[in-house]
Structure 1
Amino acid sequence: MSSESAGSLFKTPGLAYAGLVLTPLFWAGNAVVARGTVESIPPLSMAFWRWVIALAILLPFGLPGIWRHRQIIRQRLGSMLALATFSVGAFNSLLYLAATSTTATNIALINATIPIFVALMSWLLLGDRTRPLQALGIALAVFGILTVVARGELAVLTGLQAQPGDLIMVAAVFSWGLFSVLLRRQAVPLPPLTFLTTQILLGALVILPFYLTDLMLFSGGFHLTGKTALPLLYFAVFPGILAYAFWNHGVHTVGPPRAAIFMYLTPVFASILAGIFLNESLGLFHVAGGLLILAGLLLATRAGRTAAPHKPG
């Protein structure tokens, strides 16, 4: 096959849609695998080594771009460090920490509200106009989050008895919302691969002191075996590198509005995978909260669909 025909193959909508289906599957797997292995691998170890492995894979391809654009990186180092802190550094570290005390289904449902948090932070920090339908969508999604966090019981909220993992996951999506707003305000003119490689490098450096503190004073790390190496490889390759590549390819091929619809598959895949591999069951509060979140997402993204929201890698 010639390079020209191979290039046209990659631009076909069918391949793009296949990638957009796999991407939420990989994101769902991130929550399920984290929940299933968090007792074997401490959360900060999970986050740190995930990005070290991803960096080792990407660096041979991304290093030439980093060298070519070193002047821009040096000039915008402060902005890039802030972006890396909220995305690579904070988001997945908090997600893996949440996995110690909540279910994979809850993680995926709360994670699905990222577009809502992006819209909310854009309104609060950038002054973006919020249409009535978008505001209604945000409100419905927030009620959906509260339903999941409260497990359908008002007393859980009024008595401050929410699971810590649910609240940590809310902090994670809040962090990603901040990252998305900063990415718009402080856009860095770098090619995608150069930007991603630099972000992973800086993010791993941000996690490093926290990982070392946890290693020496708290968790003691983990033993590298087949049982622990495979999840780390999964985190690095599938929800990291491949999901990022598939998502961006899908957005560029079929357009942001159509691509955004596939994000709604993440909690669906997560509930199926969690039921199969973790024996998690769906409660009525999951269904009610999920429907509120879905309705909120549909309203918010339809009312303000100018671009597909950035998603975690």
Structure 2
Amino acid sequence: MNQLHFRRNRRLRNTDTLRKMVRETVLRKEDFIYPIFVVEGENIKNPVASMPGVYQLSLDHFEKEIDEVVSLGIPSVILFGVPNEKDTVGSQAYAEEGIVQRATRLAKECHPNLVVIADTCLCQYTDHGHCGVVEDGYVVNDASLELLTKAAVSQAKAGADIIAPSNMMDGFVAAIRQGLDEAGFVNIPIMSYAVKYASSYYGPFRDAAHSSPQSGDRKTYQMDSANRLEALREAEADVEEGADFLIVKPALSYLDIMRDVKNNFTLPVVAYNVSGEYSMIKAAAQNGWINEQEIVLETLTSMKRAGADLIMTYHAKDAARWLEGK
């Protein structure tokens, strides 16, 4: 054996302290953005059946929720609205008293330092469930941009710190950037859903947001899950149009795409750990098949290792507790 020459990589794994000292990727509670679904009415806390632990919240319960988020040291939330009334043009998305606008004002009144991100789309607000204006069964691009820009400006006026357009129309970042600038919001950043695939992992979210298309699908505007180079074209367009963050959605099955985006662009990259990814872990944990804490932390760490600077995740509250040893 004395004549063997080989590397002893295990030397750096001998103790827990040593392993932590040489750890390459560190997951922090400050990395998390927590998604919240807000609804109209009072004393409403509707559990989302397909997303254990996630609720639709009226504003009175929403206030308690953000109190908890802040107490856990999570720096940011992203708001999704579920309105009582829907129409063909999603008018509640840009209404001054829309549910996201009201929730934004409340959040900033209660916790001025909490970073409030407004999801900017139309699908939750339209009676047809698509992310833009529908004509003859097709989601038309340019007319949709006008409404999305109105929504973004309305959200900024309500106090949103970041606008996060998720619609995947061509030119949506350019249109929203111009609209925000003309309205005097030159310092409000855009967190673009730059790389958003037409994915089956969104199913539980559509239950929570009541946003399923009433006809057809979203494949004419969301990306084909088989494509890789297309993601770079989409991200490049958004960078050129003025995006400040680049979201990759979904995250877990697209870690290769996340690394490509990180390697090719210098903007902060955001992973969206989507509803289907969350629900699969929850279901397996409830059946006793996995250790939920270990699986969640490993999964979120994999997203950071792949290049994510921030992570939108429904696991945020639990993960923050676990990272603090609670």
TMscore range, shorter length? under 0.3
Return the index of the structure with the highest Cα Rg: 2
Q: Which has the higher contact order (CA 8 A, sep 6+)?
A: 1
TM normalised by structure 1 equals 0.26
Which structure is higher in strand share?
Answer: 2
Greater per-residue helix proportion? 1
TM-score, normalised by the number of residues in structure 2: 0.25
